[in-house]
Structure 1
Amino acid sequence: MADLRHALGELGEKLAARYLENKGYRILESRFTNSRGYRLGEIDIVASSEGKIVFVEVKTRKTSLDKPVFPEEAITREKLRRLERISASYLREKRLLEKSYGFDAVLVCYDAAAKTAKIRHIQDMFL
């Protein structure tokens, strides 16, 4: 079960990266962890858009005909706090403290039977 969840998450991150690239974002890194490893967490995607660094949280869920799916429910306050901490670490490590930055979410609902995905992009999720 964990392997399937992991594979679905990887698929969602690939779809999200492709979606962002099609929207003009440049992908800088995927699955960034600070130099201390997973202690602070992980950033799914680090991108740049219009001179701004964008830290992207990706949430992927399988859709089902009988039950609506809301990937954004998995973005908790604790997850957002962790994202802020690891993002600060990224900016320090890459010496980008002077750059403007923001936080986006990409929500992927994947229909395995149809092999299609619906993607929603929430920009500047802390505003």
Structure 2
Amino acid sequence: MVNNLKKGIFGENEAVKYLVSQGYRILDRNYRTKVGEIDIIAIKSHILVFIEVKARTSTSYGYPYEAVNWKKQEKIYKSSLIYIKHKSMNNYQIRYDIIEVYLRKKLKINHIENAFCM
């Protein structure tokens, strides 16, 4: 479990570096509500982006994005509504992304924009 936690933190840190290099401004990380958690909240070109990060060392058990099932998507969506209300950010276009971080000899990041919608 500790190893998975370290992988998750490393993956999120790499995702943040990637997003910043792509012109995103990071607003929050690990935003928790009673409903769920959002890994990264960022903004780019007046689009508010809620991002789920999945880090894996292999695809033996499927691709990372496959772990973001309907139930997880619903938690992210409900948490995003709480965030928008709490931060008074009603005037933004909203998008839900997934970032897959492959932790192999050579790090690989796959950014899936508009991964799901509600």
| TM-score, normalisation: structure 1 | 0.86
Q: CA deviation at 1:69?
A: 5.3
CA distance in 2, matches of 1:68, 1:78: 19
Question: 3-state SS of the aligned residue for 1:87?
Answer: helix
Q: Is the 8 A contact 2:51 2:97 kept in 1?
A: yes
Q: CA deviation at 1:71?
A: 0.7
Question: 3-state SS of the aligned residue for 1:98?
Answer: coil
Does the alignment pair 1:18 with 2:17? Answer: yes
Q: CA deviation at 1:103?
A: 0.6
Does the alignment pair 1:118 with 2:113? Answer: no
Q: CA deviation at 1:123?
A: 0.5
Q: CA deviation at 1:97?
A: 1.8
Alignment of 1:1-127 (within 5 A): 2-34=1-33, 39-63=34-58, 67=60, 70-111=63-104, 114=105, 116-126=106-116
Q: CA deviation at 1:63?
A: 2.8
Gapped regions of structure 1 (runs ≥ 5): none
Task: State, as a whole percentage, how many aligned pairs show the same letter.
Answer: 32
Question: 3-state SS of the aligned residue for 1:56?
Answer: strand
Q: Is the 8 A contact 2:27 2:43 kept in 1?
A: yes
Q: Is the 8 A contact 1:103 1:126 kept in 2?
A: yes
Q: CA deviation at 1:76?
A: 0.5
Q: Is the 8 A contact 2:73 2:116 kept in 1?
A: no
Aligned Cα RMSD in Å? 1.5
Q: CA deviation at 1:98?
A: 2.4
| TM-score, normalisation: structure 2 | 0.92
